Amino acid sequence: MGFIKLWRPKALYLNLSRQTRGKQKWGITLLNAFPKKIRIFDTTLRDGEQTPGVSLTPDNKLRIAKSLDKLRVDVIEAGFPAVSEGEMEAVKLIAKEGLKAEICSFVRGTKSDIDVALKCDTQSVHLVIPTSDLHLQYKLKKTREEILKLVEESVQYAKDHGLVVELSAEDATRSEFNFVKEFFAKGISLGADRICPCDTVGVLTPEKSYKFFSDMRKTFKDIIISAHCHDDFGMGVANSIAALRAGAHQVHATINGLGERAGNAALEEIVAALKLIYGVKLPIKTELLYRTSTLVARLTGVPVQPNKAIVGENAFTHESGIHTHAILSHPLTYEPISPEFVGVTRRLVAGKHAGSHGIRASLEKIGLHPTDEQLKEISMRVKTLGDKGKKITDADLLAVAEAVMGLPQTSPIKLEELTVVTGDRVTSTASVRLKLNNKVVSEAATGLGPVDAAINAVRKAILVVEPINLEQYHVKAITGGTDAMVEVIVRLRRGDRTATAMGVREDIVMASVEAVLSGMNVLMADYHKRGHK
Amino acid sequence: MGFIKLWRPKALYLNLSRQTRGKQKWGITLLNAFPKKIRIFDTTLRDGEQTPGVSLTPDNKLRIAKSLDKLRVDVIEAGFPAVSEGEMEAVKLIAKEGLKAEICSFVRGTKSDIDVALKCDTQSVHLVIPTSDLHLQYKLKKTREEILKLVEESVQYAKDHGLVVELSAEDATRSEFNFVKEFFAKGISLGADRICPCDTVGVLTPEKSYKFFSDMRKTFKDIIISAHCHDDFGMGVANSIAALRAGAHQVHATINGLGERAGNAALEEIVAALKLIYGVKLPIKTELLYRTSTLVARLTGVPVQPNKAIVGENAFTHESGIHTHAILSHPLTYEPISPEFVGVTRRLVAGKHAGSHGIRASLEKIGLHPTDEQLKEISMRVKTLGDKGKKITDADLLAVAEAVMGLPQTSPIKLEELTVVTGDRVTSTASVRLKLNNKVVSEAATGLGPVDAAINAVRKAILVVEPINLEQYHVKAITGGTDAMVEVIVRLRRGDRTATAMGVREDIVMASVEAVLSGMNVLMADYHKRGHK
């Protein structure tokens, strides 16, 4: 019946995109006036860096710029060079790197800002001048006439110095539209190359954005029009896409949706929607999206929430039984985007909502093959743990399975004693005594702090028997007091196998040791090797 | 000239909402067909709890249900009682609490699921049966005829037992529309009270959502229609609002946008946009939004990213000089939403992008009044620190200001010695020797772990001189290895004054002590008291 063919990922996406381009499933034609070439103007390093509390060193800015270039964005707004010496250095560094993307400096409507940009030698400037009465009166204390004068002087000056000029009207969406038009007409008459009416405080809606940019297109026919949307009401991405649908040529976006307040429209979301839902061709290398997101999160220190679209750690993770069962049968049932598209892999996790299919899949990975009856009991016990509010790791799943299947509880490693000394005038030192398959092993180690010392001692003791690596060590943010619960999650690797485990205590040292030992126990319970059926 | 009047917050919002309701600023009428009463169906405790890794105890589910009720949502989907014993207990507990909201159980199209819901005594069931060929073939392995039979049996059964029935077509937006219509017609004929075509994998766009729900409204005139949107492409909120604009009566949403994969549409964003942008009346007590968000984040363990709309910690925080300057002159310039609306307060922070106006405001809070010349120098030095990638706390700002203003560097407290012993068979114990205004103080204390012991010792030593409280202790998530940098941020209070400070080390004990001592130094540098001008 050719059904499976119809539901190949590619077919699905094409199918979706055809719907939006021509006749729709529900009988109407949608008016998509996408331009031939859509341009991505990345502002992670400018508006994104303005995120409160974020400061990047010039070196780190360069690293991010390089990864944006690999992603193939069209423009990299490298920074606001007038803001500080270091920022100027950073922009200069990026400009002379010889990247494919156009490198752009943010400037206000003053000669001095443009002079600093010239020193940085960027190809273009993003020249921003406000147009709303609110900004004119309370921020600049200027009249509309004075604003037009600013436009005249600064565009003229920038063009005279050979710069590509993208002229932005700040707070355009709360400005009188006639004045916005006058503002841009003036800029264009003096040679501005691109224009951008900004939704500075994110008050657009998709329908308003569509209308607004349709009007812009009708008024300004021969120039690149750009959209700059903020996410204050959670609609930054939809508003950006609406602008493109109305014929805007370019969108401003940031990785992870960084930016002032609730941030800018997220680049990864715009790109995924354009490609997969609207079937638009874009040169963006989407398989680098996850990697880029991780780099930006790490260097800026701004975490991505697990339930963030496209790049959140849960975007391709499934727990609920209904979902994992279906995913195992056909991923598209609950995955509108294939993990490979973004450059990640799918994760199935056990938990209160898990069903037996997902749990069987997880157990088979560690070499356990429960009967149907046993599987039912294991699922039930996992749910019971979940009911108590527990997050289920590989270590928990193994313990439950062993109990149900009547296998001897795997616990070849037992902590007999741990002592750590630390302070400001003493090298952190730990001694540990472990029982390893009934043999007592003692080791001591130093480290950078008490946790490092303790884990070093444990690893040294184990290394005698098993080459196990600590691949990931993660401590959940601790909030409350110094006696708050600390949750440590680790992933350990031995050869091609990994195991996750967790430790929860008020004491970060003991929580870390608990997690590492519990993960080591999973890896040493090698049912594959033992040939268990 | 009556200008200020025009820009009162209220006037702005009304102004915006009028635009979308009647004649728009740009000359067209937008078709908003909002129903008279918009209903909020909260699914934080069901779809939200299905977030991988989240398991709530019955007690915690009840706490969240109560806070949702205070928020005044119309329906609380309390859980999926058939999933586990504990979940059933939780739903039962919530149902008998006597809350104002309708309490609802999630059920599949089986009598056994409905029986469990009946045991829980909820008023309604959210009865979910798939309609897409993909789900029929790969998940349920059933034909369309069999699906209609399921609808018939389960709706009939639920109605016979006196339940309010909200019938959902799972994956409706990837289903053949004629079949979706047939599905709902069947359900309605048997007494279903509300219908909900689900955008299960978040593939709608605002324009498709508008069209889809317009068609639904035309087909089903006398029944409550609900939208259930996921956020896989970052458009869940816009899609939900588009559905309401097309006449849908109800939206499903979750606090913090929790839910499977990228989550569901975020309740707080939908509510804020409806109220402030569309001028729609809703009984939701928005001033409780932030508090509810924090509670849900804490109990589920899923953090909210700083740049999340409405409830993110940066949504009302400003660093950039251009922004803080304007905000101090008139908040609406860069704040589309007033912090009070959500129940938070605005924060201004210093940093690389800060301007002198924001820095002066921060210094005046600690009693320092630099001259214009000094202020310029302080701003420059803050920027230099920022260029090095440093996050600026009150302690940093004070140190810079003192240096520039020629005041003796405040450092009445100096750490002379700290030793901590910890382990699994020893009570964590710390001894500390501090120099306090040139007097040496020694103290020892125990604690739950080495950090707690160290800070207890420090506090005990200080207490002799100053009653300072550790109000907030926050450790940023640690990722990497056990030797990764640990960033500790504290907020201390002495009377009505607070100070933030930070410690960064590879060692969590030393980072914590550093942060606390540095914050204590700020509080003891009381320029107000000293009457400095």
What is the ipTM score, two decimals? Answer: 0.85
- For A437, other C-beta atoms within 10 Å of its C-beta total 11
Question: Taking CB atoms and an 8 Å cutoff, what residues of chain A touch B309?
Answer: 202, 231-234, 262
A228 pLDDT above the threshold of 90: yes
A303 pLDDT above the threshold of 80: yes
Q: Note the pLDDT of residue B276.
A: 96
Average pLDDT of every residue of chain B = 89
A24 pLDDT above the threshold of 60: no
Question: Taking CB atoms and an 8 Å cutoff, what residues of chain B touch A211?
Answer: 24, 26, 28, 30
* Residue with the two structure tokens 């700059």: A228
How many angstroms away from the CA of B448 is the closest CA of chain A? 6
The token pair that represents B229 in the structure block? 């949107």
- For A494, other C-beta atoms within 10 Å of its C-beta total 18
| Residues of chain A numbered 52-111 and touching chain B (CB < 8 Å) | 52-58, 60, 80, 83-87, 89, 108
Each residue's pLDDT tens digit, B434-460: 988 788 999 999 999 999 999 999 988
Which of A21, A49, A353, A397 should be substituted to probe chain B, the one whose Cβ sees the most B Cβ atoms within 10 Å? Answer: A353
Residue B394 pLDDT level (bands cut at 50, 70, 90) = confident
Residue A46 · residue A307 · CB < 8 Å: no
Question: Taking CB atoms and an 8 Å cutoff, what residues of chain A touch B7?
Answer: 133-134
Mean pLDDT of A377-384: 90
CA distance A248 to B424: 63
Residue B418: what residue type? L
CA distance B250 to B241: 10
Each residue's pLDDT tens digit, B414-437: 899 999 999 998 999 999 999 887
Nearest to residue A195, comparing CAs of A166, A160, A175?
A166
B23 pLDDT above the threshold of 50: no
A27 pLDDT above the threshold of 80: no
> A387, B273: Cβ pair inside 8 Å?
no
B393 pLDDT above the threshold of 60: yes
CA distance A453 to A419: 10
Mean pLDDT of B475-481: 80
CA distance B285 to B40: 12
Residue B320 pLDDT level (bands cut at 50, 70, 90) = confident
A532 and chain B in contact, CB less than 8 A:
no
Each residue's pLDDT tens digit, A205-218: 999 999 999 999 99
- B119 vs A356: which has the higher pLDDT: B119
Q: Note the pLDDT of residue B362.
A: 82
A126 and chain B in contact, CB less than 8 A:
no
Nearest CA in chain A to B354: A83
> B470, A481: Cβ pair inside 8 Å?
yes
CA atoms within 13 A on the CB side of A355: 12
Per-residue burial over B7-28, b if 16 or more Cβ lie within 10 Å, else e, is: bebeebbeebbebbeeebbeee
Residue A259 · residue B334 · CB < 8 Å: no
B449 and chain A in contact, CB less than 8 A:
yes
Which of B215, B231, B307 should be substituted to probe chain A, the one whose Cβ sees the most A Cβ atoms within 10 Å? Answer: B307
Looking at A339-438, which runs of residues are DSSP E strands? 347-348, 413-423, 429-436
Helix (H) or strand (E) holding A38: none
Q: Note the pLDDT of residue A346.
A: 86
A21 pLDDT above the threshold of 90: no
Percent pLDDT > 70 in chain B is 93
DSSP state of B285: -
For B513, list phi and psi in degrees, rounded to 5: -65, -45
Choose the weakest-confidence range: A112-121, A372-381, B24-33, B279-288.
B24-33
Question: Taking CB atoms and an 8 Å cutoff, what residues of chain A touch B272?
Answer: 233
Query: Who contacts B496 (Cβ-Cβ below 8 Å, separation ≥6)?
Result: none
Average pLDDT of every residue of chain A = 89
pTM above 0.90, yes or no: no
Question: Taking CB atoms and an 8 Å cutoff, what residues of chain B touch A51?
Answer: 306-307, 314, 319
Torsion of CA A384, A385, A387, A388, to 10 degrees: 130
CA distance B492 to B95: 42
Q: What SS3 class is residue A491?
A: strand
Residue B505 · residue B475 · CB < 8 Å: no
> A450, B417: Cβ pair inside 8 Å?
no
Choose the weakest-confidence range: A148-157, A383-392, B100-109.
A383-392
Each residue's pLDDT tens digit, A107-163: 999 999 999 999 999 999 999 999 999 999 999 999 999 999 999 999 999 999 999
CA distance B110 to B374: 74
For A20, list phi and psi in degrees, rounded to 5: -85, -20
Q: Note the pLDDT of residue B439.
A: 86
Q: Note the pLDDT of residue B418.
A: 95
How many angstroms away from the CA of A530 is the closest CA of chain B? 30
Question: Taking CB atoms and an 8 Å cutoff, what residues of chain B touch A207?
Answer: 20, 30, 206, 245
Nearest to residue B418, comparing CAs of B380, B445, B385, B389?
B445
B19 pLDDT above the threshold of 80: no
Residue B358 · residue B318 · CB < 8 Å: yes
CA distance B501 to B468: 14
Nearest CA in chain B to A450: B507
How many angstroms away from the CA of B429 is the closest CA of chain A? 10
As to burial, measured by CB atoms within 10 angstroms (0-12 exposed, 13-18 middle, 19+ buried), residue A349 is buried
- For B290, other C-beta atoms within 10 Å of its C-beta total 23
> B473, A481: Cβ pair inside 8 Å?
yes
Choose the weakest-confidence range: B9-13, B89-93, B288-292.
B9-13
Residue A201: what residue type? V
| Residues of chain A numbered 305-324 and touching chain B (CB < 8 Å) | 305-310, 312, 314-323
Residue B410 pLDDT level (bands cut at 50, 70, 90) = low
CA distance B54 to B196: 25
CA distance B85 to B98: 22
Bridge partner list, B130: B170
CA distance B137 to A468: 43
Nearest to residue A420, comparing CAs of A447, A449, A450?
A450
Residue A300 pLDDT level (bands cut at 50, 70, 90) = very high
CA distance A187 to A152: 7
Choose the weakest-confidence range: B234-238, B283-287, B423-427.
B423-427
CA distance B110 to A400: 29
Q: Note the pLDDT of residue A3.
A: 30
Q: What SS3 class is residue A87?
A: helix
How many angstroms away from the CA of A245 is the closest CA of chain B? 10
Q: Note the pLDDT of residue A20.
A: 39
CA distance B498 to B491: 7
SS (H, E, C) B450-490: HHHHHHHHHHHHHHCCCCCEEEEEEECCEEECCCCCEEEEE
> B28, A211: Cβ pair inside 8 Å?
yes
Q: A494 vs A466, A500, B509, CA distance in Å?
A: 8, 12, 31
Mean pLDDT of A410-426: 88
A199 and chain B in contact, CB less than 8 A:
no
Residue B205 · residue B214 · CB < 8 Å: no
As to burial, measured by CB atoms within 10 angstroms (0-12 exposed, 13-18 middle, 19+ buried), residue A263 is buried
Q: Note the pLDDT of residue A9.
A: 35
B481 and chain A in contact, CB less than 8 A:
yes
Question: Taking CB atoms and an 8 Å cutoff, what residues of chain B touch A419?
Answer: 421-423, 425-426
CA distance A282 to A515: 44
Residue B42: what residue type? D
Bridge partner list, B39: B250
Each residue's pLDDT tens digit, B45-82: 999 999 988 989 999 999 999 999 999 999 999 999 99
Q: Which of A50-59, A155-164, B360-369, B517-526 has the highest mean pLDDT?
A: A155-164
Query: Who contacts A222 (Cβ-Cβ below 8 Å, separation ≥6)?
Result: none
Choose the weakest-confidence range: A299-313, A339-353, B135-149, B295-309.
A339-353
As to burial, measured by CB atoms within 10 angstroms (0-12 exposed, 13-18 middle, 19+ buried), residue A438 is exposed
CA distance A244 to A227: 8
B22 pLDDT above the threshold of 80: no
- A428 vs A527: which has the higher pLDDT: A428
Query: Who contacts A502 (Cβ-Cβ below 8 Å, separation ≥6)?
Result: A391, A393, A395, A396, A487, A488, A489, A490, A515, A518
How many angstroms away from the CA of A303 is the closest CA of chain B? 6
Q: Note the pLDDT of residue B529.
A: 59
